[in-house]
Amino acid sequence: MERVPTGIHGLDKMIEGGFPKGRTVLVSGGTGTGKSIFGLQYLYHGAKEHDEPGVYVTVDEDPKTIRKDMLRFGWDIRELENQNKLVMLDLTGSKTGMESKEEFSISAENLSFDKMVLKIMQTADRIGAKRLVIDSIPAFGFRTGNEDKIRSLILKLSYLVRKSGLTSIFISEIPEQSLGEGPMTFSKYGVEEYVADAVILLHYLGVGTASNRTLYVRKMRGTKHVEDIIPLHITDSGIKLTGTESIFDED
Protein backbone atom coordinates (compact mmCIF):
# COMPACT_ATOMS: atom_id res chain seq x y z
CA MET A 1 0.00 0.00 0.00
CA GLU A 2 1.29 3.46 -0.88
CA ARG A 3 1.86 5.78 2.07
CA VAL A 4 1.44 9.52 2.44
CA PRO A 5 3.92 11.16 4.82
CA THR A 6 2.01 13.12 7.44
CA GLY A 7 4.48 15.85 8.38
CA ILE A 8 3.66 15.18 12.04
CA HIS A 9 7.06 14.65 13.63
CA GLY A 10 7.28 11.10 14.99
CA LEU A 11 3.96 9.86 13.58
CA ASP A 12 5.02 8.22 10.31
CA LYS A 13 7.11 5.54 11.93
CA MET A 14 4.17 4.64 14.16
CA ILE A 15 2.02 3.88 11.13
CA GLU A 16 4.31 2.18 8.60
CA GLY A 17 5.40 5.37 6.86
CA GLY A 18 2.26 7.49 6.66
CA PHE A 19 -1.46 7.54 5.96
CA PRO A 20 -2.74 4.92 3.52
CA LYS A 21 -2.97 6.73 0.20
CA GLY A 22 -6.46 7.73 -0.92
CA ARG A 23 -8.04 6.92 2.42
CA THR A 24 -9.80 9.00 5.04
CA VAL A 25 -8.41 9.63 8.50
CA LEU A 26 -10.58 10.89 11.32
CA VAL A 27 -8.80 13.20 13.76
CA SER A 28 -10.94 13.64 16.82
CA GLY A 29 -10.53 15.12 20.27
CA GLY A 30 -11.85 17.66 22.72
CA THR A 31 -11.57 21.39 22.24
CA GLY A 32 -8.05 22.85 22.03
CA THR A 33 -6.37 19.47 21.63
CA GLY A 34 -4.55 20.55 18.44
CA LYS A 35 -6.86 19.12 15.75
CA SER A 36 -6.67 22.15 13.47
CA ILE A 37 -2.90 22.48 13.86
CA PHE A 38 -2.63 18.76 13.00
CA GLY A 39 -4.62 19.25 9.81
CA LEU A 40 -2.73 22.35 8.74
CA GLN A 41 0.63 20.75 9.46
CA TYR A 42 -0.34 17.82 7.22
CA LEU A 43 -1.26 20.14 4.34
CA TYR A 44 1.63 22.56 4.82
CA HIS A 45 4.17 19.75 4.90
CA GLY A 46 2.62 18.02 1.87
CA ALA A 47 2.67 21.18 -0.22
CA LYS A 48 6.07 22.38 0.91
CA GLU A 49 8.09 19.16 1.11
CA HIS A 50 6.31 16.78 -1.25
CA ASP A 51 4.83 19.10 -3.84
CA GLU A 52 1.36 17.73 -3.07
CA PRO A 53 -1.27 20.46 -3.28
CA GLY A 54 -3.96 20.50 -0.61
CA VAL A 55 -7.34 21.98 0.23
CA TYR A 56 -8.22 23.11 3.73
CA VAL A 57 -11.95 23.48 4.24
CA THR A 58 -12.55 25.71 7.22
CA VAL A 59 -15.98 25.94 8.77
CA ASP A 60 -15.08 27.09 12.28
CA GLU A 61 -12.31 29.65 11.95
CA ASP A 62 -11.82 32.32 9.33
CA PRO A 63 -8.81 31.90 7.02
CA LYS A 64 -7.32 35.24 8.01
CA THR A 65 -6.95 34.22 11.64
CA ILE A 66 -5.57 30.83 10.66
CA ARG A 67 -2.91 32.35 8.37
CA LYS A 68 -1.80 34.63 11.17
CA ASP A 69 -1.73 31.92 13.84
CA MET A 70 0.22 29.50 11.62
CA LEU A 71 2.97 32.07 11.07
CA ARG A 72 3.85 31.37 14.71
CA PHE A 73 5.05 27.95 13.55
CA GLY A 74 6.93 29.47 10.62
CA TRP A 75 4.27 28.29 8.15
CA ASP A 76 3.60 30.86 5.46
CA ILE A 77 0.20 29.73 4.22
CA ARG A 78 -0.16 32.74 1.92
CA GLU A 79 3.00 31.84 0.06
CA LEU A 80 1.64 28.38 -0.73
CA GLU A 81 -1.72 29.83 -1.74
CA ASN A 82 0.05 32.14 -4.19
CA GLN A 83 1.73 29.09 -5.71
CA ASN A 84 -1.60 27.25 -5.99
CA LYS A 85 -0.30 24.56 -3.66
CA LEU A 86 -2.82 25.28 -0.95
CA VAL A 87 -6.36 26.60 -0.97
CA MET A 88 -8.09 27.85 2.12
CA LEU A 89 -11.74 27.25 1.30
CA ASP A 90 -13.86 29.46 3.52
CA LEU A 91 -17.13 27.81 4.51
CA THR A 92 -17.54 29.78 7.73
CA GLY A 93 -20.61 31.35 6.14
CA SER A 94 -22.45 28.06 6.57
CA LYS A 95 -22.43 28.79 10.31
CA THR A 96 -22.58 32.55 10.45
CA GLY A 97 -24.65 33.34 7.35
CA MET A 98 -22.10 36.07 6.59
CA GLU A 99 -20.56 36.63 3.17
CA SER A 100 -16.84 35.97 2.94
CA LYS A 101 -14.24 38.30 1.43
CA GLU A 102 -12.00 35.33 0.68
CA GLU A 103 -11.07 34.41 -2.89
CA PHE A 104 -12.29 30.86 -2.29
CA SER A 105 -15.57 30.81 -0.49
CA ILE A 106 -19.18 30.10 -1.22
CA SER A 107 -22.00 32.56 -1.02
CA ALA A 108 -24.40 32.17 1.87
CA GLU A 109 -27.39 31.23 -0.27
CA ASN A 110 -25.38 28.46 -1.94
CA LEU A 111 -24.48 26.68 1.22
CA SER A 112 -26.53 23.58 0.67
CA PHE A 113 -24.74 20.33 1.43
CA ASP A 114 -24.52 19.26 -2.22
CA LYS A 115 -23.19 22.61 -3.35
CA MET A 116 -20.57 22.67 -0.62
CA VAL A 117 -19.34 19.22 -1.55
CA LEU A 118 -19.30 20.17 -5.23
CA LYS A 119 -17.30 23.29 -4.42
CA ILE A 120 -14.76 21.26 -2.44
CA MET A 121 -14.29 18.82 -5.32
CA GLN A 122 -14.02 21.57 -7.94
CA THR A 123 -11.46 23.39 -5.84
CA ALA A 124 -9.43 20.20 -5.40
CA ASP A 125 -9.53 19.55 -9.15
CA ARG A 126 -8.47 23.08 -9.95
CA ILE A 127 -5.11 22.78 -8.19
CA GLY A 128 -4.63 19.05 -8.70
CA ALA A 129 -4.94 18.44 -4.96
CA LYS A 130 -3.70 15.24 -3.39
CA ARG A 131 -4.65 16.13 0.18
CA LEU A 132 -7.81 17.40 1.81
CA VAL A 133 -8.74 18.48 5.33
CA ILE A 134 -12.30 19.18 6.43
CA ASP A 135 -12.32 21.18 9.67
CA SER A 136 -14.75 20.24 10.95
CA ILE A 137 -17.46 17.67 10.31
CA PRO A 138 -19.73 18.81 13.18
CA ALA A 139 -19.47 22.44 11.99
CA PHE A 140 -20.30 21.51 8.40
CA GLY A 141 -23.56 23.14 7.41
CA PHE A 142 -25.91 20.20 7.38
CA ARG A 143 -28.85 22.54 7.80
CA THR A 144 -30.85 20.03 9.73
CA GLY A 145 -31.11 19.07 13.36
CA ASN A 146 -32.07 15.54 12.41
CA GLU A 147 -29.13 13.36 13.44
CA ASP A 148 -30.11 10.42 11.21
CA LYS A 149 -30.13 12.78 8.26
CA ILE A 150 -26.76 14.20 9.32
CA ARG A 151 -25.31 10.69 9.56
CA SER A 152 -26.46 9.85 6.08
CA LEU A 153 -24.91 13.11 4.79
CA ILE A 154 -21.62 12.20 6.47
CA LEU A 155 -21.76 8.83 4.71
CA LYS A 156 -22.37 10.57 1.41
CA LEU A 157 -19.53 13.03 2.04
CA SER A 158 -17.11 10.27 2.86
CA TYR A 159 -18.18 8.26 -0.20
CA LEU A 160 -17.58 11.23 -2.49
CA VAL A 161 -14.26 12.10 -0.87
CA ARG A 162 -13.08 8.52 -1.17
CA LYS A 163 -14.07 8.42 -4.84
CA SER A 164 -11.98 11.54 -5.44
CA GLY A 165 -8.81 9.69 -4.44
CA LEU A 166 -7.71 12.45 -2.06
CA THR A 167 -5.93 11.39 1.10
CA SER A 168 -8.13 13.17 3.59
CA ILE A 169 -8.48 14.19 7.18
CA PHE A 170 -11.92 14.67 8.68
CA ILE A 171 -11.85 16.55 11.95
CA SER A 172 -14.51 15.82 14.53
CA GLU A 173 -15.10 16.30 18.25
CA ILE A 174 -15.36 13.93 21.12
CA PRO A 175 -18.19 14.94 23.42
CA GLU A 176 -16.68 15.86 26.80
CA GLN A 177 -18.75 13.37 28.75
CA SER A 178 -17.34 10.42 26.80
CA LEU A 179 -13.83 11.32 27.90
CA GLY A 180 -14.63 10.02 31.35
CA GLU A 181 -16.57 6.91 32.24
CA GLY A 182 -19.25 5.14 30.25
CA PRO A 183 -19.21 3.85 26.69
CA MET A 184 -16.59 5.60 24.59
CA THR A 185 -17.55 7.41 21.43
CA PHE A 186 -14.92 8.82 19.12
CA SER A 187 -16.81 11.53 17.31
CA LYS A 188 -19.72 13.89 17.49
CA TYR A 189 -22.26 11.80 15.61
CA GLY A 190 -20.80 8.39 16.34
CA VAL A 191 -20.60 7.55 12.64
CA GLU A 192 -17.41 9.35 11.60
CA GLU A 193 -15.19 6.62 13.06
CA TYR A 194 -16.91 3.97 10.94
CA VAL A 195 -16.71 5.79 7.64
CA ALA A 196 -13.04 6.62 8.24
CA ASP A 197 -10.26 4.14 7.51
CA ALA A 198 -8.27 5.44 10.43
CA VAL A 199 -8.99 7.12 13.74
CA ILE A 200 -6.48 9.30 15.59
CA LEU A 201 -7.51 10.65 18.97
CA LEU A 202 -6.02 13.74 20.55
CA HIS A 203 -6.33 14.30 24.26
CA TYR A 204 -5.61 17.16 26.63
CA LEU A 205 -5.46 16.37 30.29
CA GLY A 206 -5.31 20.04 31.20
CA VAL A 207 -3.76 19.66 34.62
CA GLY A 208 -0.65 21.71 33.95
CA THR A 209 1.86 18.88 33.79
CA ALA A 210 4.77 19.02 31.41
CA SER A 211 3.35 16.45 28.99
CA ASN A 212 -0.39 16.78 29.22
CA ARG A 213 -1.21 16.27 25.57
CA THR A 214 -1.42 12.85 23.98
CA LEU A 215 -2.06 11.16 20.64
CA TYR A 216 -3.49 7.70 20.20
CA VAL A 217 -3.97 5.73 16.97
CA ARG A 218 -7.25 3.97 17.66
CA LYS A 219 -7.40 2.21 14.30
CA MET A 220 -5.77 2.29 10.90
CA ARG A 221 -7.03 -0.24 8.40
CA GLY A 222 -4.33 -2.20 6.61
CA THR A 223 -1.64 -0.92 8.96
CA LYS A 224 0.48 -2.28 11.76
CA HIS A 225 0.41 0.70 14.09
CA VAL A 226 1.65 1.55 17.54
CA GLU A 227 -1.06 0.98 20.13
CA ASP A 228 0.37 3.12 22.91
CA ILE A 229 -0.77 6.54 24.02
CA ILE A 230 2.01 8.87 22.87
CA PRO A 231 2.91 12.25 24.43
CA LEU A 232 2.31 15.15 22.06
CA HIS A 233 3.84 18.62 22.23
CA ILE A 234 2.93 21.78 20.40
CA THR A 235 6.30 23.43 19.80
CA ASP A 236 7.48 26.51 17.89
CA SER A 237 7.62 24.33 14.78
CA GLY A 238 4.30 22.57 15.23
CA ILE A 239 3.22 19.22 16.63
CA LYS A 240 5.89 16.79 17.78
CA LEU A 241 5.44 13.35 19.28
CA THR A 242 7.96 12.17 21.85
CA GLY A 243 9.05 8.75 23.00
CA THR A 244 8.68 7.35 19.48
CA GLU A 245 12.44 7.11 18.90
CA SER A 246 12.73 3.38 19.53
CA ILE A 247 9.45 2.35 17.92
CA PHE A 248 9.73 -0.58 15.55
CA ASP A 249 13.48 0.09 15.27
CA GLU A 250 14.06 -3.64 15.51
CA ASP A 251 12.11 -4.22 12.28
Question: Which stretches of the chain bind ligand ATP, using CB under 6 A?
Answer: 29, 31-37, 60, 72, 234
Q: Within 13 Å of residue 67, how many CA atoms lie on the same side as its CB?
A: 16
Q: Which of 24, 28, 33, 36 binds Mg ion (CB under 5 A)?
A: 36
The angle formed by the CA atoms of residues 204, 56 and 114, to the nearest 5 degrees, is: 110
Question: Residue type for 71, please?
Answer: L
Q: How far is the CB of 16 from ligand ATP (least distance, A)?
A: 25
Interaction partner, residue 37 (Mg ion, ligand ATP, none; CB < 5-8 Å by kind): ligand ATP
Q: Which is nearer to ligand ATP, 75 or 104 (CB)?
A: 75
Q: How far is the CB of 130 from ligand ATP (least distance, A)?
A: 22
Q: How far is the CB of 136 from ligand ATP (least distance, A)?
A: 7
Q: How far is the CB of 171 from Mg ion (least distance, A)?
A: 7
41 near Mg ion, rule: CB under 5 A? no
Interaction partner, residue 234 (Mg ion, ligand ATP, none; CB < 5-8 Å by kind): ligand ATP
E-strand ranges in 152-236 read 167-173, 198-204, 213-220, 229-235
The angle formed by the CA atoms of residues 38, 32 and 63, to the nearest 5 degrees, is: 60
Binding residue count for Mg ion, defined by CB under 5 A: 1
Q: How far is the CB of 158 from ligand ATP (least distance, A)?
A: 20
Distance separating alpha carbons of residues 189 and 173, to the nearest angstrom: 9
Dihedral sign for Cα 174, 205, 198, 183, please. negative
Question: Residue type for 212, please?
Answer: N
Instruction: Respond yes or no on whether the N-terminal peptide bond of residue 178 is cis (omega within 30° of 0).
Output: no
Q: Which is nearer to Mg ion, 22 or 138 (CB)?
A: 138
Residues that bind Mg ion (CB under 5 A): 36
